Chains A and B, each alone.
Chain A
């Protein structure tokens, strides 16, 4: 045999279940090794060995095939081609494999190795482990194989390659074919057009509006039709002519709708009912030439049920498609793509009730489809239905991809009376439809663009579920939760546990040259979602009533009183308007990270039960104890050491009481309430988490300036160059001065906001340096005593730092998903992750 001789070429689809059929000794394993990756091949012998330690133990066959089917199933579910290396000469064995392929919606392909019985016997004899295989076994295999050959296609194999004789087997080559639906290499840009139903005039005006001239776009865009070109409307032939020409010239793609499908069957002479507007098409086509009708028939026949486009980011089909069907090939995939799924019930109009697959959709690819007329095209879980009922007097809608812009033209008239009124099927974002528990429950891994995969443990998810369900604001108004923040490394400066020198040093080590020190406000963290008006809140966030939200670090409403919340939102809204930020940021809503003061507004329970209680107890007990000691001392009893210690204690306790009192003042309504915004997190279409802090603060200063109500408060700041000792000194002095007057401390942040170190790792977005007096509230009244400080210095920051980075990445992810208009469950997943991580065990004093 020479290289020159060309053998058979066997096309094998890239995602398929390849079944090798041949007697023992026919060379299946050799063939498989030659043409497929080792990991693609599962052999029954190998599986026999797995379960019985003996590859030839026939008594293990049943278990071996269970294992084989299991592995094959896992591979197919993951979208990997699989080659089954077993004799498969019996129809029953093949039936199970065909079922397996169907279960995972891949093509079953048979490759038959029909090798003479003597050759098989000879080869087996040469193998020590098979030398004693009786000849009759091979005879039986061959007999069964011969019997099978005629039936393979009827058994369900979509491709059957039969190699006859040794030479055929040895010279054959396998070529991998892409699936017809795999157009991932096409990146568009696309204009995806909804159900037309013979509305030729509307189609022409839409194409014009989209920029097409005679079916060609000057920028080389591609139109994609979601099907249902025909029936009901006034000019189905005109629509077909236009679409077919565009497809033929490469300016368009088209997937079939159920109406084309039915018309195609009609054209092939099948018996179909002339209902749902088919009669109109037949009548209109009567005036067309035979030739055109033949072209139409061929066109419809060649349509592929759905397309996967743009690197897998976009799936287009007629009636929608769950993720497990994307890029798959089976009867039921085609049927879902054409008709969608139904619940088996019928509604009050006698029409089948559609199964709301889009509500459950969690896939990464956007699914663009039609089929179900809706009044408005809206995104739901990364899917969008473009059938806006043109033929029923609605409009014809297109989606620009990747721009995600909707373009539509109104119907010229009602061309066909709908059987039921147009309405939104999916109870989407607007009527309180909840998220699904499967999005948040149990151990989870969240994919983030800035920090890769972040895992959430089950017990933390359980705690977060409780808080999220029982206490948090509506998830639609909870698009973000702030991350925890690590404190500065422990200082060794005498009398101090935290000192800014450490923070500057840490950023210098991370390669961050410029940092901003921002005053830490003496209040509670608050996130504010402020919409321009109730209409924006309704349209963008799907809530009726509130114009935004104001919530705490764990997502709870900051204030119990909704009216007061609205008043705060109103004041911020006015300031945003006055400052011109709506226009400058091109947005109708703003998400703000802020501090709300006083602390006593929210933490009054804790203040009273813990902080004030300690103050009260110490105040009640220490004067008496001092008096007793002084009495004893006056009598000449030696209590010197104890007396001076108790005096210090008394001073420490007084300092503690002073410390917490600074965070308390009385408020009445909004009188006395202050809000200090320190970051604009996101606006329409954009996360601002990466906006440098100097620019952030400039925006926020303008906001505060334009607040006439006295609610908003500015954040004092100082910029420090971490490499310049003089600048660092100034930063330290600033902190000393501020905390010396009782300030809470400051947060040091890289000016660049979202920064990576020289090894590419995310840098802490902020490091807090808390004031010496403030820390009494954290570490107790007497923490400054040298013996206490010495012990408290052994604190472990690594876990807190890692937690801070993980929560930060999840927060960034939530903002990116929010800004990208991703479905609520995707935003909620990241937000829920932050809350869950907050319940991880870490020293709460850090």
Chain B
């Protein structure tokens, strides 16, 4: 990984003053050891007119992997580090930021013992980072650097010129130019914004990270229009959050076995991103509709099948009419988060006795689910491949057979009303299908008939006269105790 800093000189301030500012002699190549390799500072050009300092970090890839291994704090927060094939030896990441602050620490503080007046002098600066990993692409790079007065050139690097159809990589070739900047400011911008753009850190963020951010951001971060994003990304890799990463190791291996990325299969819990809509009123409306339907069915013992992170379980717990609430999900990660959300380990005995979280799967029949008053499948069926829906149908309506079953699913007709949703897209990457009202009703009525239930339909959310409500709900009620199934 590599970056260069170039300045041009004036008669009063020759370009080689950069050597004083950086505290590194232009005629020497100097090496500094860091925890993941050796940082070199050298000057490809250095005269009064123009002077360029280059920082080259030789990363020891094998050491990086070997340190990054293992569970818990011994391991690294960034899963990529556990692989020998990773971009860290090449891309400008938090490793480079740390090297920057180590090698140029006095420059970053704006201290120059030999020439104390120099650091405060603004000068023309040009910074080149040839491979900057940037989540958010060139647009975000501009949004971060332009408000700071930089002229930004950010070009995406293609993934592979041999396969143009693959498109661009997440790297950006970055050039920053400014006619009057102090070097200290420039270094502090880089120190904070490189890892923010990369959105990953090679070390665990400790509590002193906040202080580091405040120090490095002094004078520029408070007024920055993207301050919120910068802060949240910079501090994002906190232990409590990243611990989840280690909890999914088994899944990581199953993804590896299949040459796929873990995100492809470990997607039961939605990643929190800046672009994600905050808990939408729709989710709240859905829970209210479900609770109301449950109440009117008179159910006391309730199954939340596919409980996810436990929002519905939490809502139901508030109503003493529900004496037993079982949340079932196939994702251990979702259940862990649900358990934390509900604070199960700190709940009083009496409350805790009302709630149970189970790992289970509706692709199998499950004796534990028998004998309940009601089951809720809220936004569940659309996460199943259609050919496997009959298995769920049998597990719920044929085997578990609660008196009441509530099923909610998106109404695909309503998708045209979502402004943020590109045409033809489903609402969630894992949705295997989304149904129109007619499709959902046809399915629900067939299920009801096959298993001796009656089905009613309830709109959830604003019922648009043209395209219907955003969420559709079917309320199934057992009519015959056990209708013999037709062959």
Contacts and interface: CB of A to CB of B under 8 A. Distances in A.
The listed residue with most B CB atoms (<10 A of its CB), out of A353, A463, A629, A779, is A463
A841 B253 contact: yes
B contact residues, range: 35 or more
Nearest to B70: A841
Contacts of A441: 359-360
B165 A554 contact: no
Give 8 closest A-B pairs by Cβ, nearest first: A432-B390, A631-B44, A463-B250, A780-B84, A434-B391, A423-B487, A839-B250, A469-B361
Contact of B159 (A616, A622, A646, A791): A616
- B interface, by DSSP: helix, strand, loop or mixed? mixed
Contacts of B84: 778-780, 783, 845
30 contacts: A345-B482, A348-B483, A431-B390, A434-B394, A435-B365, A438-B367, A459-B332, A462-B250, A465-B361, A466-B268, A470-B384, A545-B387, A610-B80, A613-B170, A615-B160, A617-B87, A617-B133, A618-B131, A620-B90, A620-B131, A620-B157, A628-B54, A639-B40, A642-B29, A653-B90, A778-B84, A778-B85, A780-B65, A791-B62, A838-B257
A474 interface: yes
A629 B2 CA distance: 11
A616 B481 contact: no
Given A343-B482, A618-B87, A666-B163, 7 more contacts: A436-B366, A466-B331, A554-B257, A605-B264, A610-B261, A617-B91, A617-B131
A632 to B, nearest CB: 5
The listed residue with most A CB atoms (<10 A of its CB), out of B29, B90, B361, B362, is B90
Contacts of A840: 253
The listed residue with most B CB atoms (<10 A of its CB), out of A432, A438, A656, is A432
B350 interface: no
Given A462-B250, A631-B45, A835-B254, A620 B330 contact: no
A95 interface: no
Interface string B355-376: 0000111111111100000000
A545 B158 CA distance: 42
Interface in A321-361: 343, 345, 347-348, 353
Interface of B: 1-2, 4, 27-29, 40, 42-46, 52, 54, 56, 58, 61-62, 65-66, 80, 83-87, 89-91, 128, 130-131, 133, 157-160, 162-163, 165-166, 169-171, 173, 249-251, 253-254, 256-261, 264-265, 268, 330-332, 359-368, 383-384, 387-388, 390-395, 398, 481-487
A552 interface: yes
Nearest to A438: B367
A635 B43 contact: yes
Contact of A782 (B61, B359, B393): B61
Contact of A467 (B251, B360, B482): B251
Given A614-B85, A621-B90, A628 B253 contact: no
A780 B171 contact: no
Nearest to A605: B261
Contact of A642 (B40, B331, B362, B485): B40
A433 to B, nearest CB: 5
The listed residue with most B CB atoms (<10 A of its CB), out of A632, A642, A791, is A632
Contacts of A612: 159-160, 163, 166, 169
A780 B157 contact: no
Contacts of B54: 625, 628-629, 632
Contacts of A468: 361, 363
Nearest to A640: B29
A434 B171 contact: no
A171 B109 CA distance: 104
A583 to B, nearest CB: 31
The listed residue with most A CB atoms (<10 A of its CB), out of B1, B65, B87, is B87
Interface of A: 343, 345, 347-348, 353, 375, 423-425, 427, 431-441, 459-460, 462-471, 474-475, 484, 524, 545, 552-554, 556, 599, 602-603, 605-606, 608-622, 624-625, 627-632, 635-639, 642, 645-646, 649, 653, 656-657, 661, 664, 666, 777-783, 788, 791-792, 835, 838-842, 844-845
A643 B160 CA distance: 26
A807 B383 CA distance: 29
Contacts of B367: 436-438
A237 B54 CA distance: 106
B27 A434 contact: no
Given A463-B332, A621-B90, A839-B251, A437 B29 contact: no
Given A620-B171, A666-B165, A345 B159 contact: no
Contacts of A779: 84-85
Nearest to A439: B364
B29 A639 contact: yes
Contacts of A777: 85
Contact of A624 (B65, B89, B128, B363): B128
B171 A436 contact: no
A818 B297 CA distance: 45
Nearest to B56: A625
A603 B157 CA distance: 21
Nearest to B165: A666
A610 B251 contact: no
Contacts of B364: 434-437, 439-440, 469
Contacts of B171: 613, 616-617, 620
B2 A628 contact: yes
A613 B258 contact: no
B254 A469 contact: no
Contacts of B28: 637
A138 B65 CA distance: 79
B265 A616 contact: no
Contacts of B330: 465-466, 469-470
A82 B256 CA distance: 52
A492 to B, nearest CB: 18
A749 to B, nearest CB: 20
A434 B56 CA distance: 59
A498 to B, nearest CB: 15
The listed residue with most A CB atoms (<10 A of its CB), out of B44, B46, B56, B481, is B44
Given A606-B259, A624-B130, A642-B40, A613 B253 contact: no
Contacts of B162: 661, 664
Contacts of B159: 608, 612-613, 615-616
B264 to A, nearest CB: 6
B251 A463 contact: yes
B58 A434 contact: no
A618 B395 CA distance: 52
B156 to A, nearest CB: 10
Contact of B90 (A345, A614, A631, A841): A614
A588 B251 CA distance: 36
Nearest to B366: A437
A606 B261 contact: yes
A617 B170 CA distance: 9
B253 A645 contact: no
Contact of B169 (A474, A616, A628, A792): A616
A792 B87 contact: no
A347 B27 contact: no
Contact of A657 (B2, B86, B160, B388): B160
A470 B332 CA distance: 13
Nearest to A599: B259
A606 B163 CA distance: 15
A839 B252 CA distance: 8
